[in-house]
Amino acid sequence: MSHAMSGKQRSPQLEDSDRFSGPFGRRGASEALPAAQPPRPTAGRHRRPGKHMSRRGWALACVAVLLTVIFLLIKANVINVSNARAAVISRVATLCPDRAGAYTFLGKHYNTVGRPKEAADACERLAQIRPDDPASHVMLGDAYRDESRFQDAIVAYQTAIRLDPNCFDAHFGLGKAESGLGRYPEAIDSYGRALAIKPDSAAAHMSLGVALSSSGRYEEAMQAFKQAKQLDPQINEVEVLSGNAYMQAGLHERAIQCFREVITTDQSHARAYYDLGKAYLEIGDRGLALEQQRILQNLDTQLADQLLSLINN
């Protein structure tokens, strides 16, 4: 009876062992495992990742196309970056009227693009914001001078000089404004003061030479032009101005030498060909003058027509 009872007690233990032994038990070893089921998609925002990525890629492609179009418009000069920036900064200056940096940029920008009225307006505002800054008054003087408001420019430069007597740009600008009014003796003095501050300025020597030449002081003008050329050998305008000074002094052969030197180094310098043609006319060589006129036809038709008119008179 105990034997029977032990048999009945062992049976559940074996069944429990089989149930928890998995595929490596006695029963599991002979039974096939159930087939693996694919994972079921979860609900929510990650349900269709492919569609989400396609929208993102489409947006990036649109941005890339837009940037490409803008780049091509800039390359074709349809969109001017500098003008766009000026428009933005002009708006900033309107909203914040005490922003000196905005007016500084606008003054320089409008001067560069040849809009002297807007440049003068911006520089006037800048000088009001920074009345003790000589550079602001120099910028204002430059803007007035570009508008041919020479008397207003003189006042602005003189204000800068009162603030800083050693301001080279103020003395130099003052000389140019005085030259614009035909006040050559005053301009010569201003250029002299500028050169005392910055003696290595080729531009100041060249402007001094022009003022001296306009005053009939040709020998001194030649010295000023020579000094400018030594300081900056690349300034071809120095030779043109020197040639014109020699022409006014009646030294035509020396003028021809100057003009020839210019076209030797710069064969596209139309003004030099024109002045050379005039110099040949002065010495009675009409044939060489016609030769310069023919060259000018490919460089500057207006100057060519002017020279031809002189030749035919």
> Which domains does the chain show, CATH number per domain?
77-199 (1.25.40.10), 234-313 (1.25.40.10)
First-to-final CA distance of the chain: 155
Q: In Å, how far are 82, 101, 106, 119 from 112, measured between CA atoms?
A: 10, 17, 10, 9
Neighbours of 260 (CB within 10 A): 14
Rounded distance between C-alpha atoms, residue 116 and residue 145, angstroms = 9
Q: What is the pLDDT along the chain (313 residues), one digit of tens a residue?
A: 444 444 444 444 444 444 444 444 444 444 455 555 555 555 545 555 555 556 666 766 666 665 565 455 545 554 444 454 444 444 444 444 456 566 666 666 666 667 778 888 888 888 888 899 999 999 899 999 988 899 999 999 999 999 999 999 999 999 999 999 999 999 999 999 999 999 999 989 989 988 998 898 988 988 998 898 889 887 777 788 888 888 888 888 888 888 887 887 778 899 999 999 999 999 999 999 999 999 999 999 999 999 999 999 8
Output the pLDDT for position 246: 83
Output the pLDDT for position 110: 66
Rounded distance between C-alpha atoms, residue 238 and residue 209, angstroms = 9
Rounded distance between C-alpha atoms, residue 136 and residue 116, angstroms = 16
Please list the alpha-helical segments (H only) found in 30-167: 49-75, 81-95, 100-112, 116-129, 134-146, 150-163
Q: Which helix (H) or strand (E) holds 165?
A: none
Neighbours of 116 (CB within 10 A): 18
Output the pLDDT for position 266: 79
Its pTM stands at: 0.59
Rounded distance between C-alpha atoms, residue 30 and residue 24, angstroms = 9
- Per the CB < 8 A criterion, the answer to whether 138 and 151 are in contact is no
- Per the CB < 8 A criterion, the answer to whether 166 and 139 are in contact is no
Give the model confidence (pLDDT) of 180-226 as tens digits. Answer: 999 999 999 999 999 999 999 998 998 998 899 889 898 898 899 88
